[in-house]
Amino acid sequence: MDVVTFGETMVLFTPESTGLMRYAHTYTRKFGGSETNFAIGLARLGHSVGWISRVGNDELGKAMLSFVRGEGVDTSCVRLDPDAPTGLYFKEIRNASDVNVYYYRKGSAASRMTAADLDEAYLAQARYLFVSGITPALSESCREMVFEAIRMAKASGLTVVFDPNLRKKLWTEEQARETLLAIAAQSDIILPGLSEGTFLFGETDPVKLGERFLSLGAKIVVLKLGEKGAHYFTPEENQHIPGFHVEQMVDPVGAGDGFAAGFISGLLDGLSLSEAVKRANAVGAIVTMVNGDVEGLPERSDLKRFVESPGEEVMR
C-alpha cells in the first residue's frame, strides 16, 4: 500500500440549475469527501490507496462504498453502521466563484468513528498516512482517532501528511485553531492553503507562513496559492512554483484534494519537490474545470496531455 487515509465521505446532491438552491427542482447525486477525493486522485494516477471509514448500512452508504471501491481504492477497512445514516451535503453553485455547501452530517455513521476502527497492521503496510483537518471536527471520538492514527503511523515509520482543510461550519474557531496546530506539530508534510495559514497564525505573507509551519517541526510545507500556484518550504530551501492557467473555472470544490493527490503522487514517483508541486498544481487546475469533487481527477495520460499541451481542448 502506498497511502492510507481515513475520514467521512458523504452523498453529494448538486442542483442541475445554477443560482439559489431554493429554486432548484432537480438534483444530480454524486459522492464527495476530502479523503476519498484524495484517494481516488492517487488511484487514478496508478497508486495503491486504502480508506478507513464508516458508512450507514443503507442504500446510499452501499452505493458510496461500491463507487469508491470501483475507483480502485481499497475499502476493506470500511464498516457498515446499522445504527446511523450516511451523511449528506448539498452544493449550491450560484456561479463559478460563489459556491455554498450545506451539510447534513450530524449523527452520521462516520461521526461515530473511534480509534477502534483503526487497524495498526493495515496502517503499517503503507508509506504515507494522509490526515485531513475535517475528521477531528466531526466528534470527540473522531478527534481521538486522528491522534491515535498518527501515533500508530509514527510507530511504524510512516510519513504523516496533513491537509488542514479548515471547515469553520463544523466547530468553533478556537477549537479548530488548537486542534489543527496540534496535528500540524506531529506531521512530516503540511499542505495548507493561504487562508488556512492566515487563520492559524494571523499572517498573510507566504514566506513568513511557510517559516511558521516549519517551526512546528514539519520537514516539508507546501502553501497552496490558488491560481498563482504554490510555494514549497523545507529547512534548507523554498521556491514558488507557478500555477496553470484555466480559461473557465467550473467548480473549485475538490481542487485542494486533487493538489494533495498530485503532490504525493510526485513524491511516490521520486520527483524533485519542484516537479511534485508542479504536478500538484496541474491536477488541482484540471479538477476546477469539471463539475463534481472527483469527476475531474485525471489519469496519467490526461495529466501528461494537460502539462505538455495546456489549452488544447481536442485530443487528435
Q: List the catalytic residues.
A: 257
Per-residue cell: 160: 504523516
Distances (CA, A) of 109 to 11, 80, 83, 281: 12, 8, 8, 33
- Distance between CA atoms of 189 and 275, rounded to whole angstroms? 16
C-alpha cell at 247: 480559461
Beta carbons of 226 and 242 less than 8 angstroms apart: no
C-alpha–C-alpha distance, residues 314 and 160, integer Å:
39
Cα separation, 180 vs 165, in Å, equals 9
Strand order across the 27-32 sheet = 27-32, 10-15, 88-95, 98-104
Residue in 117, 112, 110, 115 with CA at minimum distance from that of residue 88: 110
Q: Whole-angstrom Cα distance, residue 150 to residue 144?
A: 10
Rounded to the nearest 10°, the torsion over CA 282, 265, 201, 175 is 120
In sequence order, what are the beta bridge partners of 81? 56
